[in-house]
Chain A
């Protein structure tokens, strides 16, 4: 147990990864203290998996520094590997082995069978809700199990050796909402016990559960912070949810007003973010004047999705406008 007690469990400082001339990760920095859930977000190809692979010692960084569980990843990648749990983006268990055989195999790789109290497989299965219940017959091969079950099995295999740091790369992809919810309860459990969890996801509703989120775009960090702070920073005024007869004219009318910072359609409703100091009465009179019909207006909490859409559209404009004018994005935090 060497010096992993204090300091962040995961520390990335200016990480860079290039594939040929293409820079997949471009100066990414963040830290995750023990007991926190850190969400790494971003569109396909943003560089999330590449960043995780560098932190896991699977890819050598071309620049920057990384410390995981108190160990310098560049200097001792193997040391890092024995202290982390990693669920890769691809579903990575052996489909032609049974769950138990998979667990036994991975357990033997981590020497998890030895010193600890009790059977690590039984413990990990219990921890991830795989033991008892469900009545899974022993002989079923992993590939014949449901996606939700396999995903919890992958998690079980990643925690056999009781890692203090967990990297979960899109663990909930392709899993139904109930199973996702259940999975996040497990993640909470690990964080409460003091593990640092780095998780990537494309579901922004999930990201709300994170202690801190970071948005990547083209290999760089464009926004970072607690979900609540981020939303407040993006929407200093109130956000309204508007339900009205004809959405089109209403949206147009809203977008014409300078005090409406953002107006977007969400399903059958409109979300409108107002500048600070403006209220719903201004909106109702505007809509009445525009002839959009009877409008139901209520104040709502902005979602992370609102915030990120706003950030992405504004940084997109910025990078289009100020091409090559000094460092951008990286300083967003």
Chain B
């Protein structure tokens, strides 16, 4: 292990894999350390929704760029992740939801998302599968979804082609030195001049290796999928509150999500569903698309999603440690990751990123306040 890499990326989710890919393509010698396999965590089990109607307003310009990237993934990634670009609808069934939807759609429109409010009848024209009780809907022609479980295969091929040293099934345990960085792993030390922390919900313990305290809230998102069924819908469907995401894949399965919470533990890595909240999520789905009730549930699962105190990304340099960076906790992070990771890669490569990063200074607890919090 005498090689000194130009860059070590810890965590092989969509964020780490994208940063590694762009830096390697720009000529850097990159090592990617992944405890499990590439994109098998959140990045391989997420709902793959590429919607602007659930994206935070501040992230809309980024998500728009990222959507365009996903729409032609084979071009820049080189491989297919089953992206379908289609209309997106966000539904309001009650007066309260109508108010919420109208307000939120307007804010997102200001930020650049082409969302229009349409009547229930118009919505049914776009999505014949809808139930009768839709009052109004937010309609956005820039929407769609990817097939998240293909992310690992696509990225793995791209990373191998770009010459990234893929260290799968390798557990990073700490950072022993910083100039250059020496990452301590269960397979020995890995040396590199630069370091990117991209461990999903585990960026908190990873940043602690560098003496930085950045609290991350751990969300345990649940998803369900039905067996293959005859077409019941043709759009990506959500609701005003953001608590539903629903689409049918070309092969016929319907994925039901929306951020309903399961149980889980970041330390053990174990997580599971909460039956009552699966049932409520499925009820919402069947309320939106009644024909779904005929389908059978094939599988429900969970994944870990990271959230910062202000629910905005942690993407940028680690203060006080030259050449250390972090990339994670992006809301609707599957959608935006390729673009935001590209911005971070530009920064690492010494270029001016084409858009602002999300520096983490605002999120870091100083030692004194950290002590009072814990």
A binds B: no
Point out residues on A near B: beta carbons under 8 Å.
none
Point out residues on B near A: beta carbons under 8 Å.
none
